[in-house]
Each structure stands twice: as structure tokens, then as C-alpha cells.
Structure 1
Amino acid sequence: MMRGNIPLHARVASDMKAIVYSETGDPSVLQLVDRPVLEPGPDEVRVRIVVSGVNPTDWKSRRGAAPGQALPFDDVVPGQDGAGIVEAIGTGVQHVSVGDRVWLALAAYQRASGGTSQEHAVLPAERVFALPAHASFDQGASLGVPAITAYRALTVAEDGPDRLHPTALADTVVLVAGGAGAVGHAAIQLARWAGATVITTVSGPVKAALATAAGAQHVLTYTDPGIDIVSQIRQIAPDGVDIIVEVAPAQNAELDLAVIRNRGSIAVYANNGGDLMTLDVRRNFSLNVRYQFVLLYTVGIDAIQSAAQAINVALGDGALAVGEDSGLPLHRFDLAHTPDAHALVESGAVGKVLIDVAAE
């Protein structure tokens, strides 16, 4: 692709702005620096980042186990998710071309300089996915960790599908714990797109409105005085819930066991509320319950790519909208204010935090 007689992949400044940290700690360890723009090697792609997404995994990696903890590299560019435009490709890359709009997943995983908190990122081609023409960069930057995690959680059931499509979850009841979070939001959208009946639990009316906007048919507020969540779920699903997408297994273990059906699956993707959970072995035995823990970093690239393909189909069907009207408010920062973006995510803000890195 040519612009003004100059190949697009050559229209890159000799240096760029990037966010890096060289030690673990609070958001103040994030620094804005100038760095050279790198050329992609074999099976790599360089992307001009337009929008970067910030996830809890980003601030948890930045904090580490303790302030000052040694890093695997001298410094790290954070940001697992993002969207932008392909600038250059290395040898062996065939599924994207220079000029393509793309979204990224696990950009910073095991890489010092692959993260999306920079103007130009070089990362493995297998983590770069075409962004459908009508989808926005905001949507692309909001996929990655949340959408792939949600997809994985919805495709691990023993009696369920291993690939989602518009009728894959017909006659299936899905319970999403914490439907106002980014993963919960994506799980609601993908489950509805796949034909499921979706129940979600939230902590208050503001989050209830967001979960409803995302598409959940049944939104239950567990903080309402006198409410019997188990009874309400059982009224909706007398035979029990087929799949639970669980964000707080320690807190919800008893509830989950009370509503899961025989041979149902509980997909755990976070440890909100505690690291240790207690399970009633005999009752789980009797129901043949399956627990599936979900962590994208170690799930394998085949699972990531399979999820991305189906997610793109869902995008094409209009199933993964973002913004407050779709149940996921957006909070925006520029690259220089990445520390503020991290702090907002770390504070537990509801919605999706995005960093505007470059103009489209």
C-alpha cells in the first residue's frame, strides 16, 4: 500500500513515545520515554497502535508480588490489548498485510517491548487479528483479555459446544457472576449471541443497568435486603444452571453449588474475594460438577486463535458493542497519562479504560 509515493511501512519516525517500567510498584513507576522504532523479524508484525486497552492483569503485572521486585527484562512496555494499523510485516506472515486494521491479544506476554502502551509495537503475528471493517478501534482494544477469557469460559462445559456460533448455546442457561465487569460484559454479549438464556448477579442498581444494557435477560442484585438469590435463580432455571462464569469463587462456592445442574460447569477466571475456596466434595460428586480454571497466558495459542476467529464473527454480527449504551462505559486517557489509567483500573472503576495512543 502506497501513500504519497512512500510505502506505508516506511512512513515511521526514527523514534517514538512509549511507556515503560523498570521495577514493580505503584503507577508512579510508569515512565514516558523515547525509544527507537523496531523492525519486525520473521513471523512478527509491527502495528501502529491507535487505542490501547488497560486490564487488571496490566496493573497486577506492574505491581508484582512486592514493590521493587526484579523483572524478567531490564524494562517492560505494559499493555496486553490494543488495536491499530499494520505498518510492517516480517517474513512468513500471511494472514495480515500492511495497512490492515487489527486487534491484538497478549501483546506483552513474555516480551519486553511488545506491549500496546507505545506508538509502535512489534509482536508475534499469531497474536494479531484482523479487525472487521465496521468495528471501531475502541472495540478492538476492548477485546483481548476480556473477550477471549469470556469465550473460553463459555466453551469448556462437558455437554456444551467447543466453538460458539449464533445457536451454539440454545436451550442453555448461563450464570455470569459480576455482569458489569469487562469479562462479565463480554460473557453476557457472547452468550446472548450464541442463543443462551443469561442470568447475572450484580451489587447495585448502576451495575444492574449496565448488565441489562449488555443483554442479560435476568439481572439479580445480591445486596438487596431479604433477597434469596438461590431461589430466584432456581425459578428461572428449575433444573439448574448449565454454565457459571465465575469471578469470585471463594465467595460464591456455596451459591454456585446450590444452582448448578448435574454435569454443569463452573469456569473460574479470577480470584476476587479470596485466593482459597472450600468445596463440599460429596455434593460436587453427586452432581458431577466440572470446575475449569481459565488463564489466557497458559491456555495455548491454538485456543487463543480459535476464540479470536469466533469473536470476529460475533463482531461482524454486531454482538460486541462497547460504550455506556451497551453496558460498558469508556474512560479515556492519552499516552502520557497512562499512570492515571492504571490507577483508575486498580481502583475498581466500572467500565473499560482506554488509552488514545495515536490518531486514526
Structure 2
Amino acid sequence: MQAVWYEDFGAAHDVLQLGEMATPQAGPGEVLVALKASGVNPSDVKLRAGARVGAMMVYPRVVPHSDGAGVIEAVGAGVDPARIGERVWVWNAGWQRALGTAASHVALPAEQAVRLPDATTFAEGACFGIPAMTAWYAVMGDGPVAGQTVLVTGGAGSVGRYAVQMARAAGARVIATVSSASKAAHSTAQEWVNYRDTDVAEAVREMTGGAGVDRIVDVDFGANQAANLALIKPGGTIAAYASAADMSPTLDFYPFMFRNTRLHMLIVYQLAGAMRRAGEVQVTRWLEAGVLDHAVVPGGGLADCAHAHQLVAAGEKLGTVVLDI
């Protein structure tokens, strides 16, 4: 099969190689997916760069990327042969594994290949494993949000944009923070605050008649802690999936405690079991109902993988960079 891989950490153009590898086989309980698209996420780029503290190459060769979409070409023992030919999106292909989705094929556990509705493109399907499922987990991971007010920080981001749509589809009032009017439009949010020129806490309090919000889907916990504390209702939940500006923030414990706040620090790679199944079912229903809009950024083909990594690292794109395989 054709694949992109690296054998050491470093700059994308220095370490990413395109070539031929043996096509993997579907083992017991696995499916072999002929990939049509591969999603490039910030975590893929950071891992390739060796940016994680104490990072070391666990495998001698790594095919990057966790997200992708394609068609099941073969199945291993114990998997229903009727799945051959099924359109699917895949998750965690590159999580604690050597062979991800930057390739023409990937073999992985059957449960990690989820049916892709016919009306959804492969490029869109390559956005689900990390961005869409992180958004679902952050919005819905602690129960229904119907009738609640949800604040989504960074509403124009890959996760935030899905979170805005999902919270609204689940019956919540949604307010997003963005950095410009153009990003507000991209976010699809009907109510928004420009955090660059407006006091977010003051603006959202005014928008909610002083009540605050029931839930915060947060892209940067450390940077937003003060505003979130000012806005979260007693008994509310802050679901944070990153804290890039301050990776070791000092927690303002007692003010949160006296508000009976639930702090949910989440990572989609660890979403498993019944909770993940529930997310997959709900996302599929929304896809079939046509209520989710996707922001795909074309990244070229496998030969353009290094450029796609640079595009993600630059942080200027609006959407998920996807390679067309």
C-alpha cells in the first residue's frame, strides 16, 4: 500500500516520507478499510514533532493520523462478512498504534469503524473521530442540555463549531466566543461575543439577564478560568478539552466549590464503551437528519502530507485539514 510515515520526530518536511509498505491484514475482530480520506488534527502534528513532554519513539516507524474514512475491504475472524463494502469513518487509528490513516489502507478493531451515512462525504467523515466526537463529549457527556444555556468558547474552532451546532440541535440556547465577525459567521452561532474587544463575563451576564450559563464547553481552561467562574451557574459544568495558554493553571478551588461546579477535563481518545456508542448513535442521527454542517479544508493528497501538517501547525485554517487519498 502507499503510505506516509516517519521514523523520528522533527519538522514535517524533514521526517515525513511517502512510499510503499505492506498492506496490513484484518486480524481477528478487525476490519481492513480502504481509506478515501485522512483527517489531520493538531494532536497528530504535535506527536510527529515530538512536542509532548518526555516524547520518545515507541515504534520504529509510525504512519500518522487517527481520523479517516473509507470502505471496508475485508474482515477478520469474528466480524460479520456483510460489513464488506460498508462506508465507514474510523477513530483512534493512530492512538497508541503504529499504523494510522495517512495510507491507502488501515486495519483496526471493527468497533473503530463506524457506518458513514450515504449523504456524508468521506472528507466529512474524516472530521468525526477527534473534532466531532470531542464536541459531542463536551456538550452531551454529562447528560441532556435541552432547555439549558451553553457557552462555547472558541466557537470557530474545529471542535467549537461542531459544539455550537450540537448544543443547538440538542435543544440548548448557545452563546459562542469568537475573535471576529467573520469567525462568528463561520461558527454558525446565532449569539456570540468577540472576546478580543469585549469583556466576555460582562457581555454574557447581560445576554442572560444576570443568570449566567449552565454549561461551558471550553477550549482553554487556564485562560478562561476567571470568566468561566463568573458565568457558571451553581451546579453547572465546565467541560474543558484544552488549556494551551496555561498548561498548569492554578485552580481557584473554593469559588468553584461554593458554586458546586463540576469540572470535567476530557480527552476523546479515552472515550469508550457505552458512552462512545451513545455518541456515535447520536452523531449518526444528526448526520442523517442533515443538521450538521462541516468545515473541510482540502489538504491535497498523501504526497502533500508535510504541507498539510504545516497548515495545521500555523493555526490559521478554519476547519479540519483533510487529505484526499
Residues 1:83 and 2:59 are matched in the alignment: no
Match of 2:146 in 1: 170
Cα distance change on mapping 1:75 and 1:301 into 2, 3 Å:
farther
**Contact 2:46–2:52 (8 Å) recurs in 1:** no
Deviation at 1:303, TM superposition (A): 2.7
Q: 1:106 aligns with which of 69, 74, 92?
A: 92
Identify unmatched segments of 5+ residues in structure 1.
1-15, 162-168, 323-327
- What is the SS of the residue equivalent to 2:299? strand
**Contact 2:124–2:296 (8 Å) recurs in 1:** no
Aligned equivalents of 1:333, 1:46: Cα separation in 2: 23
Residues 1:336 and 2:321 are matched in the alignment: no
Cα distance change on mapping 1:68 and 1:17 into 2, 3 Å:
farther
- What is the SS of the residue equivalent to 2:26? coil
Match of 1:235 in 2: 206
Deviation per residue, 1:292-314 (Å, 9 max, x gap): 01112223344323211211111
Match of 1:256 in 2: 228
Structure 2 counterpart of 1:344, one-letter code: L
Aligned residues: 322
Structure 2 counterpart of 1:90, one-letter code: G
User: In the TM superposition, what are the counterparts of 1:1-360 in structure 2 within 5 Å?
Assistant: 16-28=1-13, 29-65=15-51, 70-94=56-80, 97-113=83-99, 115-157=100-142, 160-161=143-144, 169-211=145-187, 214=188, 216-224=189-197, 227-237=198-208, 238-322=210-294, 328=295, 330-349=297-316, 350-357=318-325
Cα distance change on mapping 1:271 and 1:219 into 2, 3 Å:
same
Aligned equivalents of 1:304, 1:73: Cα separation in 2: 27
**Contact 1:203–1:221 (8 Å) recurs in 2:** yes
Aligned equivalents of 1:126, 1:42: Cα separation in 2: 12
Cα distance change on mapping 1:177 and 1:152 into 2, 3 Å:
same
Deviation at 1:271, TM superposition (A): 1.8
**Contact 1:23–1:67 (8 Å) recurs in 2:** no
Structure 2 counterpart of 1:98, one-letter code: I
Cα distance change on mapping 1:329 and 1:354 into 2, 3 Å:
closer
Deviation at 1:219, TM superposition (A): 1.2
Aligned equivalents of 2:52, 2:251: Cα separation in 1: 30
**Contact 1:126–1:305 (8 Å) recurs in 2:** no
Aligned equivalents of 2:18, 2:282: Cα separation in 1: 36
- What is the SS of the residue equivalent to 1:261? strand
Aligned equivalents of 1:30, 1:68: Cα separation in 2: 21
Aligned equivalents of 1:179, 1:139: Cα separation in 2: 19
**Contact 1:23–1:69 (8 Å) recurs in 2:** no
Deviation per residue, 1:22-53 (Å, 9 max, x gap): 11112121110101112201111111110111
Identify unmatched segments of 5+ residues in structure 2.
none
TM-score (norm 1): 0.85
Structure 2 counterpart of 1:91, one-letter code: A
Cα distance change on mapping 1:188 and 1:67 into 2, 3 Å:
closer
Deviation at 1:282, TM superposition (A): 2.4
TM-score (norm 2): 0.94
The share of aligned pairs that are identical, in percent, is 40
Structure 2 counterpart of 1:335, one-letter code: L
Cα distance change on mapping 1:304 and 1:210 into 2, 3 Å:
same
Structure 1 counterpart of 2:9, one-letter code: T
**Contact 2:65–2:94 (8 Å) recurs in 1:** yes
- What is the SS of the residue equivalent to 2:20? strand
Structure 1 counterpart of 2:111, one-letter code: E
Aligned equivalents of 2:232, 2:54: Cα separation in 1: 43
Deviation at 1:66, TM superposition (A): 7.0
**Contact 1:139–1:321 (8 Å) recurs in 2:** no
Deviation at 1:182, TM superposition (A): 0.5
Aligned equivalents of 1:244, 1:333: Cα separation in 2: 35
Cα distance change on mapping 1:96 and 1:118 into 2, 3 Å:
farther
Deviation at 1:280, TM superposition (A): 2.4
- What is the SS of the residue equivalent to 2:285? helix
